[in-house]
Structure 1
Amino acid sequence: MTDARAFPTAAVRTALIEWYESGHREFPWRRTTDPYEILVSEVMSQQTQLGRVETAWEAFLDRWPTVAALAREDRAAVVGFWSEHRLGYNNRAKYLHTAAQQVMDDYDGEIPQTPETLQTLQGVGPYTANAVASFAFNAGDAVVDTNVKRVLYRAFDVPDDDSVFEQCASDLMPEDKSRVWNNAIMELGGVACEKTPRCDSESCPWRKWCHAYETGDFTAPDVPTQPEFTGSRRQFRGRIVNVLGKYDELAIDDLGHRIRVDYTPDGEHGREWLRGLLSDLAADGLVTVEDDRVRLQQ
Structure 2
Amino acid sequence: MTEPDGSSSDADADGAPSEGDAGGGSPPDEPELPDDVDAVREALVAWYEADHRAFPWRRTDDPYEILVSEVMSQQTQLDRVVSAWEDFVDEWPTTAALAGADRADVVAFWSDHSLGYNNRAKYLHEAAGQVESEYGGAFPRTPDELQELMGVGPYTANAVASFAFNDGDAVVDTNVKRVLHRAFDVPDDDDAFARVASALMPDGESRVWNNAIMELGGVACGKSPKCDEAGCPWREWCHAYQTGDFTAPDVPEQPSFEGSRRQFRGRIVRLLGEHEEMALDALGHRIRVDYAPDGEHGREWLRGLLSDLSADGLVRVESRDDQTTARLR
Normalised to the residue count of structure 1, the TM-score between the two structures is 0.85
Which residue in 2 is equivalent to 1:26?
A: 54
Aligned with residue 283 of structure 2, among 255, 258, 262 = 255
- Does 1:144 find its partner at 2:172? yes
- Structure 2 partner of 1:168: 196
* Alignment coverage as a number of residue pairs: 288
**Shift of residue 236 of structure 1?**
7.0
Corresponding residue for 1:192? 220
The superposition leaves residues 140-194 of structure 1 with CA deviations (integer Å, 9 ceiling, x where unpaired) of 0000111111110000000111111111100100111100110111111111111
Contact 1:20-1:187 at 8 Å conserved across structures: yes
Counterpart-to-counterpart distance in 1, 2:55 and 2:173: 18
Which residue is equivalent to 2:154?
126
SS of aligned partner of 1:144: coil
3-state SS, counterpart of residue 25 of structure 1: coil
Q: Aligned-residue CA RMSD in angstroms?
A: 3.3
Residue of structure 1 in register with 2:240 after alignment: 212
Label 1:53 to 1:107 Cα distance change in 2 as closer, same or farther (>3 A).
same
Distance 2:305 2:264 in 1: 14
Mark the CA change 1:285 to 1:89 in structure 2 (over 3 Å): closer, same or farther: farther
3-state secondary structure, aligned to 1:223 = coil
- Partner of 1:55, secondary structure, is helix
Name the amino acid aligned to 2:84: A
Q: What residue number does 1:266 align with?
A: none
Q: Shift of residue 240 of structure 1? A: 3.2
Q: Percent identity?
A: 64
Q: Structure 1 residues 223 and 297, CA, compared in 2 at 3 Å: closer, same or farther?
A: same
Aligned to 1:14, which of 30, 37, 42? 42
Displacement of 1:247: 5.3
Q: What's the offset of the Cα at 1:249?
A: 5.3
Structure number with greater CO (CA < 8 Å, separation at least 6) is 2
Render the CA deviation track for 1:78-117: whole Å, top value 9, x for unaligned: 0100010111111111111111111112111111100011
2:125 is aligned with 1:92:
no
Structure 1 residue 270, shift from structure 2 partner? 5.2
Equivalent residue, structure 1, for 2:181: 153
Q: Equivalent residue for 1:40?
A: 68
Task: Identify which of 87, 98, 102 aligns with 1:59.
Answer: 87
TM-aligned CA deviation for residue 201 of structure 1:
1.7
